[in-house]
Every structure is written in structure tokens, then in C-alpha cells.
Amino acid sequence: MKVILGWLASIAWIFYAACGLVALVYLSRALFTQRKLASSITLYEQEELREKVRRFWRGALLFFLAGVFLFAGVWYLQRLPALSADLTITPTLPPGLVITPSPSPRPPATPVLGALPTITPTVGTSVPPPPPSPTPLPTATPTGPVPSNILYARFGDVAELIGYDLTTTTLSPGQSVGVTLYWRALPGAGSLNYQVFVHLLPPDISRLLGQHDGTPVEGTRPTTTWTAGEVLVDFHSVSLTATDYTGEARIAVGLYDPAAPHIRVPVAGGTDYLLLPVAIQVSGP
């Protein structure tokens, strides 16, 4: 028991650090969203940002309380050995009674064996060869398109984004970047004809530098034709339309219903878009 408790206490700091780090992430996202809320102008955007702020504050509080409860639990477990030692009962013998330990029985002597007989092979007798080693089974080679950049993001019950490719990471006004998305269809893909949007944004996502929206696979594969489990290669060409911007840019990807463009498919993690983990350098003309 002491060994188990010692092991739990030795790794508890990992869980403390994880809870604290996640709480800080939620806290920073809440503060960042509050700053965005102060600069928003539409009622719809303000209400959406308020809901995000409340959700981030709840996440920060939840992980902070998880760290506190974990610390209290480890402290309580560390106290258990001392409590069990205090409750140990030592038997008391009557006066004058002495218990003499009985001697341990001696093990029987091991007989000494004589020299083993030497086996002399008979001339002309062949020794059978060892059995052949088993032939290794062939390794299956995965099939299907494989992206250069692997990631995982779940868009509701519609699709999973499993990777992407880019044709360039540097842009000038008038140029475009080719973005290839690799979607794995989920059972909910066929419910609506979802559109894919690919937006080029500055790091603070304050304006639109370029975009491309449309039906997946260059208009040939609406999501209503997707089969759960299949992987689709979806190409988009995004032109840099902002001529007054230089610096770093990011690529945001998402799905929406064309009948209600302001309602997007939620991404696992609490957002309605995914920023690809790559930076595009935008230079002047």
C-alpha cells in the first residue's frame, strides 16, 4: 500500500500542472474574448461572444477545482499509512507464559549424482536438421490519399479533417495559395448540403484578407453524397485580395449551411472554425 501511495504522490504534480495549464488556457481565452466583445458592434456577435466568455470561465473554474480536489485527495491518501499504523493491535500474553519459537525443519540432503554418461554418436547416424523458422506474414500497406500535414479536428457529426496540403507559404497581392483539405465523412454528412469556407485572416482575425467558399471537391461532391468513412480530397484556391496588408496570415477552415450562412458546424473544442497550424507570410507588391 505504501508503495502505491508513494507512486501516486510522485506523479501527482503532472496532474496539478495539467489542470493548471488547461485552466490558464481557458482563462486567457476568456480574457481575449472579452476584449473582442468590447470592440464588437452587432448584437448577434455580442451575444455569441458573451456565451463564449461564459463557457471559457466555466472551463477555467472546472479545471481549477479539479486540481484542488486532486491535491486534497493525494493529501488524504498520504495520511492513510499513519492512521493504519495507529490502529495496529499488538497481542498481550498472560504473565509467566513464554512462547518459544519452534526450530525450522532442516531440508533433506540432496544426493550427489555421479557423472552423466557421455553420449557418443554412432558413425553413419544423421542428425535431423532444425525445423525451419516460420515465414513472416506480409505487412498490409495502407491505401487512400495521405496528406503531407496530419491533424485531427471533428466538425460536429458531419466530418473529420485529418490533414491538409498547401502550395505555398508566401503571398503577394494578386497571388493565391492552394489549400487541399482531407475530409473523412461521418454519418451526419448527408443531412444537408454543407459548404466549405477557407478564409485568409490576420493573426487577430480582425479582417478578411481573402476567401473561397463552395461545394467540396470543386463542386463535384456535395456532402449529401458522402458515405460515412470515405476520405475526400477537397481543393480550394484562396487569392490575397487585401492589397494594404503585410505580415503574417492564418488560414481558417469551416463548414456552414448555405441556407443560414451565419450558423456554422461546431468544431470540437468550442469554436465554429479551425485555424490551420501554419503561418502564411504576406509581402507587399
Domain containing residue 191: CATH number = 2.60.40.2550
Could you tell me if residue 189 is inside a domain? yes
Could you tell me if residue 105 is inside a domain? no
Could you tell me if residue 143 is inside a domain? no
Nearest alpha carbon to residue 210 among 252, 249, 166, 242: 242
Same-domain check for residues 73 and 185: no
Q: Which residues lie across from 257 on neighbouring strands?
A: 260
Angstrom distance (rounded) from CA 68 to CA 65: 5
Same-domain check for residues 172 and 269: yes
Could you tell me if residue 124 is inside a domain? no
Among candidate residues 44, 59, 85, the one where a domain is terminated: 85
Angstrom distance (rounded) from CA 233 to CA 214: 14
pLDDT value of position 27: 87
Q: How many structural domains are present in the chain?
A: 2
Same-domain check for residues 66 and 188: no
Residue 212 has φ and ψ, to the nearest 5°, of: -150, 120
Within the chain, residue ranges assigned H as helices are: 2-39, 43-86
Could you tell me if residue 92 is inside a domain? no
Same-domain check for residues 75 and 185: no
Same-domain check for residues 52 and 155: no
Angstrom distance (rounded) from CA 230 to CA 217: 13
Same-domain check for residues 159 and 261: yes
241-285, pLDDT tens digit by residue?
998 999 999 999 999 999 988 889 999 988 999 999 999 999 977
Same-domain check for residues 157 and 269: yes
Query: Does the pLDDT of residue 112 top 60, yes or no?
Result: no
Same-domain check for residues 81 and 153: no
Could you tell me if residue 176 is inside a domain? yes
Check: pTM over 0.75? Answer yes or no.
no
Domain containing residue 237? 149-282
Among candidate residues 85, 101, 129, the one where a domain is terminated: 85
Could you tell me if residue 210 is inside a domain? yes
Nearest alpha carbon to residue 161 among 153, 169, 170, 150: 153
Mean pLDDT of 12-21: 79
Same-domain check for residues 80 and 153: no
Q: Which residues contact 276 (CB under 8 A, 6 or more apart)?
A: 149, 151, 164, 179, 250, 251, 252, 253
Angstrom distance (rounded) from CA 166 to CA 148: 9
Range with the largest mean pLDDT of 16-30, 61-75, 98-112, 195-209: 195-209
Same-domain check for residues 70 and 174: no
73-107, pLDDT tens digit by residue?
777 766 665 444 444 444 454 555 544 555 555 55
Mean pLDDT of 167-193: 94
Q: What's the N-to-C CA distance of the chain in angstroms?
A: 70
127-156, pLDDT tens digit by residue?
556 566 555 444 434 456 889 999 999 999
181-215, pLDDT tens digit by residue?
999 999 999 999 999 999 999 999 999 999 999 99
In terms of Cβ atoms closer than 10 Å to its own Cβ (0-12, 13-18, 19+), residue 265 is buried
Among candidate residues 62, 85, 108, the one where a domain is terminated: 85
Same-domain check for residues 64 and 172: no
Range with the largest mean pLDDT of 55-64, 115-124, 141-150: 55-64
Same-domain check for residues 248 and 156: yes
DSSP of 44-66 = HHHHHHHHHHHHHHHHHHHHHHH
Could you tell me if residue 170 is inside a domain? yes
